[in-house]
Amino acid sequence: MKGQGGRRDGGNLRNPCLTMHQPWASLLVHGIKRVEGRSWPSPVRGRLWIHAAGKVPDAETIEAMEDFYREIYSVDGVTDLKFPHHYPVSRLLGCVDVVGCVRREELASWEAVTEGVRLEAQTDFCWLCERPQRLVIPFEMRGFQGVYNLEKKIFDAAVRGLSVVESPLPVRFPIPDPRDPFSLKPGSLSLIPVESKPNDMEKSSSLSAAIAGARAAATQFSKKNHGHNNAHVMIAVATETHFPDNTNPTADAEGSPTASSGPSSHPGRSDDNQQQRRTRQQTNGTSKIFAEAIKGLKL
């Protein structure tokens, strides 16, 4: 099928699309999320279509990410955030304009943007996004890994169904050289002097709790953590002060996540049935531990 396959070099990307997990995908298209985090630099500038992967987000993940954005917006004086009413999956949601990509430490110390935007610098590479647009009717489609081309027939239909989104606090990232769309790139801000860094500021307890909850939510999709081990990782991550270097709000969210593999079922074998029950209990336990980790940080 034309348009399949991921590319990270930006070659032959006429209508680039990126698949993300929910709730991050909708938060980006609705203009709440302004920075898309990845472990690799953005290969594109301009319009980037956003597709939601097939995994249905659980209530704890949605709550954690909404709390995170509620807190970082409050730092900039915005207290009436309106979140999406639902987070559809396996759908093309809309698009944003990628205007640049910088390293985490560059964005975290960039005085040209608000403090709330700097607090979104939690990943190795930060894709800077503006001008969100959402599809009035999201299109059902399959996603792929990496940045890939949107099929022409889907693009032709989608481009006619876009609606401009009014962001809670619109941001315009200054471009070093307006003649060069790739001038805002990793290393381009390293020579800009700064007077202070947001990492040096004292965070409120509610902000720290929200950041910890967002980290725990992101850890679900780390390729290094599967099955019941996620429960332990979530608690550990929730007590840290930064995202791990290999984790970000949409890390490894370039397609449907790999499900934890449990034992195969064989009729008549009680030991396998017992193991399956234990696996289900561990899965349920993960959700409860995740919720308690966030709840404990808010006390």
Neighbours of 193 (CB within 10 A): 6
Any domain includes 265: yes
| Residue 128 resides in a domain | yes
SS3 per residue for 158-215: HHHHEEECCCCCCCCCCCCCCCCCCCCCCCCCCCCCCCCCHHHCCCCHHHHHHHHHHH
Between CA 101 and CA 52, with CA 110 as vertex, the angle to 5 degrees is: 40
Is residue 138 included in any domain, yes or no? yes
Number of domains making up the chain: 1
Q: What is the reported pLDDT for 193?
A: 52
Tens-digit pLDDT profile for residues 24-51: 999 999 999 999 999 999 999 999 999 9
How crowded is the C-beta side of 82, counted as CA atoms within 13 Å? 6
104 within 8 A of 123, measured Cβ to Cβ = yes
pLDDT of residue 11: 63
pLDDT value, residue 80: 92
CA distance 283 to 119: 31
Q: State residue 15's pLDDT score.
A: 97
Rounded to a whole number of angstroms, the CA Rg of the chain reads 20
**Position 3 in a domain:** no
- The verdict on residue 83 lying in a domain is yes
Q: What is the tens place of the pLDDT at every residue in 187-223?
A: 998 755 545 444 445 567 888 888 888 888 887 766 4
Distance CA 120, CA 27 (A): 13
Q: How far is residue 110's CA from residue 171's CA, in Å, rounded to a whole number?
A: 13
Task: Please report whether residue 180 resides in a domain.
Answer: yes
The predicted pLDDT at position 211 comes to 82
What beta strand segments (E) does the chain contain? 16-20, 35-38, 46-52, 91-103, 125-140, 147-149, 162-164
Structural domain boundaries enclosing 56: 16-298
Query: Which regions in the chain score pLDDT beneath 70?
Result: 1-11, 191-203, 221-299
Residue 68 in any domain: the answer is yes
Confidence (pTM): 0.73
Q: Is residue 11 part of a domain?
A: no
Q: At a CB cut-off of 8 Å and minimum separation 6, what does 294 contact?
A: 60, 63, 64, 67, 209, 212, 213, 216, 238
Q: What is the pLDDT of residue 124?
A: 94
pLDDT score at 190? 73
